[in-house]
Structure 1
Amino acid sequence: MDKHDGGDPGALRVDDPWYDALAAGLWVPDPTAPAPSPVPAPPAAPAAGAEQDRAAVYLEVQQSAAFQEVRGQYRRFAFPAVAAFLAWYLLYVVAATVAPGLMGRTVAGELNVAMVAGLAQFATTFLLTWAYSRHARLRRDRAALDLRWDTQERMR
């Protein structure tokens, strides 16, 4: 994607082959831009051999070391994160049912342990969302994008 200089948002140019301008929402064309060329007719359905070629490309990419590394990075983050969050949630529910005296203990004013733990559930959700997006951005996005472009090039 080209950098945007802060001018007209309609002048933003997207070079992504998966970008669908119609699905992106309302778009106001730049009045100074040349008229777009007519939309070509959709391609005919691929032959059976072409479908097999596409399947072979996807299988080859799926079995590649780069794809396995991206999936491994995802699993190494997601599985422990989900397990920890689920354990934290179940601890909250079990403590609320088994130890009502503890959960009803006042922390400050009308605020009790159950309310603090319930609010901590929300904080944990936001923290986990931030950690996931950071992990994806730093460890997986570049490799996944490279795989995506490589797959697109092989399909041409």
Structure 2
Amino acid sequence: MSPDRAGVTAGPDVWTTAEASEDFRELRARLLRFVLPATAGFLGWLFLFVGLSAWAPGLLGTRVLGDLTLALVLAIGQFVTTFAITALYVRYAGRRLDPLADEIRERLERGHR
């Protein structure tokens, strides 16, 4: 059993009911609509970088600007991508996930009391 925000313990039947609701299914679908493409895109980008490191080290050794190589530019790009995806997720969650999650929680809390 898990305590809700008011400290009241909710039984497993509450969570089973919540999970079966249309709103909860919509919440999961919205989450997956962001997470799956973002994860696939980032992993593709990461594997491209790792693959180039393994099979095209000469290409990655290409100097782009002074002593700055393509490998360093791509490595920094990994960090930039990570922060960008995080910022996009926070924005997406605030607009598309959190309001629906709050509605579900409030409905459960009203029904639980």
TM-score by length of 1: 0.65
Greater percentage in strand:
2
**Residue among 45, 48, 64 paired with 2:21:** 64
In the alignment, what sits opposite 1:142? 99
In the alignment, what sits opposite 1:93? 50
Q: Which has the larger radius of gyration?
A: 1
In the alignment, what sits opposite 2:77? 120
In the alignment, what sits opposite 1:29? none
Separation in structure 2 between the aligned mates of residue 88 and residue 80 of structure 1, nearest angstrom: 12
Query: How much has 1:87 moved relative to structure 2?
Result: 0.9
The alignment's C-alpha RMSD in Å is 2.0
In the alignment, what sits opposite 2:89? 132
Separation in structure 2 between the aligned mates of residue 91 and residue 118 of structure 1, nearest angstrom: 11
TM-score by length of 2: 0.89
Aligned letter for 1:126?
F
Of all paired residues, the percent bearing the same amino acid is 35
Q: SS of the residue aligned with 2:27? A: helix
Which is bigger in relative contact order (C-alpha 8 A, separation at least 6)?
Answer: 2
Gaps of 5+ in 1: 1-16, 21-42
Greater percentage in helix:
2
**Residue among 39, 55, 59 paired with 1:102:** 59
Separation in structure 2 between the aligned mates of residue 122 and residue 79 of structure 1, nearest angstrom: 19
Runs (4+) off by over 6 Å: none
Separation in structure 2 between the aligned mates of residue 19 and residue 141 of structure 1, nearest angstrom: 19
In the alignment, what sits opposite 1:18? 5
